[in-house]
Amino acid sequence: MTRFCLLTCVFLHCLLGVSGQQKPNIVIIYADDVGYGDFSCYAPENRVKTPNVDKLAQKGLRFDRAYATAATCTPSRYSLLTGEYPWRKNGINVLAGDASAIIRSGHSTLASVFRQAGYTTAVVGKWHLGLGNDQGPDWNGHIRESPNDVGFDYSFIMAATGDRVPTVYVENSRVVNLDPQDPIRVNYRTKVGDEPTGRENPELLKMKHSHGHDFTIINGVGRIGYMAGGKAARWTDETMADTFTSKAVHFIEQNRQQPFLLYFATHDVHVPRVPHPRFTGKSGHGLRGDALLEFDWSVGEIMKALEENGLLKNTLVILSSDNGPVVDDGYHDGAVEHLGSHRPTGPLRGGKYSIFEGGTRIPFIVSYPGRVKPGVSHALFSQVDLYASLSALIGEKPDAGKKDSQNHLAALLGKDKKGRKEVVVHSQSGGAFAIIETDWKYITPTKGAAVQKDTRIELGNAPSPQLYRLEKDPGETTNLAEKEPAVLRTLEKRLEEIRNGS
Ligand code: NG6
Ligand code: CA
C-alpha cells in the first residue's frame, strides 16, 4: 500500500467511524404508559430503581419539558411516526385489536423517509396503528397494510395492546407460528369459539379484571375482544419482553454494517402486567414496579448490543413513553395496593387519559455520545417533531405537506435551549386541547368528566377555561384564567390558529 493510500484509508476511517459507516443509527425506545416520575433519574427519591435508564440519562440529555401529542397510545404513536397531529383526522383513537390500518401504503412516515435514504428500518413491539385494509386484517394470510407497507423493512409486532386480542405476534405481515388447521377468528362484538370468558368464568382467571377485560381468557388473563383458534401462535405474556428484546438485539447485530432505524416499542408497563418470573416481587412495589424493572432490563440489553457491536458512538438513542401513567388500568394486579410512596407522575397532576401534565409530559432522553453533551434540557419538545428533526439529521427533506412536524434537531442535540415556541396536546377523554407556551398552559373548556371513574385519574376537564403557570405550579393547582384574561385570550387565539392549520 502506498503512503497516499494509507493516509486516505486513515482519513476515511476517521470520517466514517470505527464501524465504517458515516450515517448515524437511530434507536427509538418507546415505553408504554411510563410516567414522568417513574424512572429514578427523573425522581431520585424512587425506591424502584432503573439503573440502565439512569445511565442513559447520565451520559445523555434528559428533557424535562418534552411531550407526547396525546394522552393515549394510538394518537401519540401516530404523531411520532407520521409527524402529524392525530386530531386532524377522524378515527385516530385507541384502536381495537382488529382495526384497519390508519397509516397505509404511500403515507410518508419516519420509516419511509429513512428507508428512502438507504437505511434498513425495523419496528419491534407494540404497533397499535391498525392492520389491513378497510376489511381489517386477514389473520390467516398475508396482512396487506402493515408496518412493512409504510416504510419498515422488518417488523415483529403485537397488533394492538397486551390486553387486546388476538394475542399473537405478527412478523413481516404474517402471524408467527400459525397452524393453518387452526385458523384465528377475532370479534370485538360477539363471541367466537367456545373458550371461557372472564365474564362467564372468573374462577379461571389468574389475574382478575377490575374493569373491562372480561372477554376471552388467554393464558389466565381476561382480554378485550373475543378470540378463537390460533392456539399454537398465542404469546406467553411472561416471555414477551424477552421475545421483543431478543428480536431487537438480533436486528442490531444483523445490521451493524449499515445504517439502521430501530423503533423498539415495548409492552412494558401497560396492562396486563405479567413480567417474567425473574422480575416478579423484585421491585417491592407490585407488578407495575416489576414491569418497570423489566423495561429497564430491556434498555440495558439494547445498549449492550450497541456496545458489543461497536455502535454506541454512532447511534442516536431516544427513550420516551407514549402517554402518562395509570395505576389501575383494568386488572387487580396489586399496583394500587403496592404503590407506596412511588409517584408515577412525579410532581405532575393527572395521568394517562388526562389533559393535565401527567397525561402527556413524558420522560424523554437523548443519547448520542460525542455529539450530545450530557445534561438536562429545559427546551420545549414534542414527539411530533421527531419526523422532521430526525429527517434533518440525515439530510432528508420531510414531506412538504407535513406542517405539524417542526425541525428542532438543534434542541434534540442540546444546542438550542428553547425548542418549540409552543406545544399542543390533546386528550380524547373529553376532547380537551391544551397549549403550552413559555411556562403558561391554557386548557380549553369541555363537558367531559372531571375524574375517570374506573382509573380514578383526574382528567382535567372543566366547563370553563383553565390557565396555569407551570414553572411555579407544575401540579396545576391555581387556575389563573380569571386573573390573566389577556394571556388567556392570546393562547386561545394561537391554539385556534394551529387547529385551523397555521
Ligand atoms: C382502555 C382499556 C385500557 C387500555 C387502554 C389503551 C378498558 C376498560 N380499558 O380502553 O386497559 O388498554 O384502553 O391503552 O378496556 S393505550 O396505552 O394503548 O392507549
Ligand atoms: Ca400507552
Same domain, 346 and 485: no
Same domain, 72 and 170: yes
> Do the strands 381-382 and 66-67 form a parallel or antiparallel pair, or are they unpaired?
parallel
Q: For residue 268, give the nearest of 27, 26, 29 by alpha carbon.
A: 29
Q: To test the ligand 1 pocket, which listed residue (77, 93, 161, 207) has its Cβ within 8 A of the most ligand atoms?
A: 161
Instruction: Count the neighbouring beta carbons within 10 Å of the beta carbon of residue 463.
Output: 9
Domain holding 127: CATH number? Answer: 3.40.720.10
Residue 115: pLDDT over 50? yes
Q: Whole-angstrom Cα distance, residue 488 to residue 502?
A: 19
Q: Whose CA is nearest to atom 3 of ligand 1?
A: 329
| Mean per-residue pLDDT, 138-146 | 98
Residue type, 438: T
| Mean per-residue pLDDT, 479-493 | 98
- Domain annotation covers residue 116: yes
Residue 495: pLDDT over 50? yes
Q: 401 by DSSP, 3-state: which?
A: coil
Same domain, 236 and 374: yes
Q: At what angle do helices 386-393 and 73-82 cross, to 10 degrees?
A: 30
Q: Whose CA is nearest to atom 6 of ligand 1?
A: 94
In the chain, the percentage of residues whose pLDDT exceeds 90 is: 93
Which numbered atom of ligand 1 lies nearest the CA of 163?
Answer: 12
Q: How far is the CA of 329 from the centre of ligand 1 (A)?
A: 7
Q: 248 by DSSP, 3-state: which?
A: helix
At 409, give phi and psi (nearest 5°).
-55, -40
Give 22's pLDDT tier (boundaries 50, 70, 90).
confident
Residue type, 98: D
pLDDT tens-digit map of 190-246: 999 999 999 999 999 999 999 999 999 999 999 999 999 999 999 999 999 999 999
Query: Given this model, what pLDDT does residue 5 score?
Result: 45
Under 8 Å CB-to-CB from 2, ≥6 apart: which residues? none
| Mean per-residue pLDDT, 15-37 | 81
| Mean per-residue pLDDT, 125-135 | 98
Q: What is the mean pLDDT of the chain?
A: 95
Q: For residue 469, what is its C-alpha cell?
A: 403557570
pLDDT tens-digit map of 69-81: 999 999 999 999 9
Higher pLDDT, residue 496 or 18: 496
Does the beta carbon of 84 sit less than 6 angstroms from any atom of ligand 1? no
Instruction: Count the neighbouring beta carbons within 10 Å of the beta carbon of residue 202.
Output: 14
| Mean per-residue pLDDT, 38-42 | 98
Burial 298-313 (b: 16+ CB within 10 A, else e): bbbbbbebbeebebbe
Under 8 Å CB-to-CB from 190, ≥6 apart: which residues? 226
The domain boundary residue, chosen from 382, 416, 450: 416
Q: Whole-angstrom Cα distance, residue 358 to residue 354?
A: 7
Give 33's pLDDT tier (boundaries 50, 70, 90).
very high
The parent domain of residue 250 ranges over: 22-177+231-416
Residue type, 202: P
| Alpha helices (H) along 281-404 | 286-308, 357-360, 386-393
Query: Given this model, what pLDDT does residue 6 score?
Result: 46
- Domain annotation covers residue 11: no
Q: For residue 226, what is its C-alpha cell?
A: 373475543
| Residue 164, CA distances (Å) to 116, 130, 221, 449 in order | 33, 12, 11, 25
Same domain, 357 and 398: yes
Q: Cβ distance 40 to 50 under 8 Å?
A: yes
Q: Whole-angstrom Cα distance, residue 494 to residue 302?
A: 41
How many domains does the structure of the chain reveal? 3
Dihedral class, residue 426 (left if φ above 0, else alpha if ψ from -120 to 50, else beta): beta
Does the beta carbon of 271 sit less than 6 angstroms from any atom of ligand 1? yes
| Residue 353, CA distances (Å) to 155, 250, 420, 433 in order | 28, 34, 23, 12
Same domain, 447 and 388: no
Residue 161: pLDDT over 80? yes
Q: To test the ligand 1 pocket, which listed residue (165, 329, 457) has its Cβ within 8 A of the most ligand atoms?
A: 329
Give 3's pLDDT tier (boundaries 50, 70, 90).
low
Query: Given this model, what pLDDT does residue 400 score?
Result: 81
Residue 19: pLDDT over 70? no
pTM of the model: 0.95
Q: How far is the CA of 13 from the centre of ligand 2 (A)?
A: 42
Of the candidate ranges 88-92, 356-360, 381-385, the one whose mean pLDDT is the lowest: 88-92
Domain holding 455: CATH number? Answer: 3.30.1120.10
Bridge partners of 221?
Answer: 207, 218
Does the beta carbon of 329 sit less than 6 angstroms from any atom of ligand 1? yes
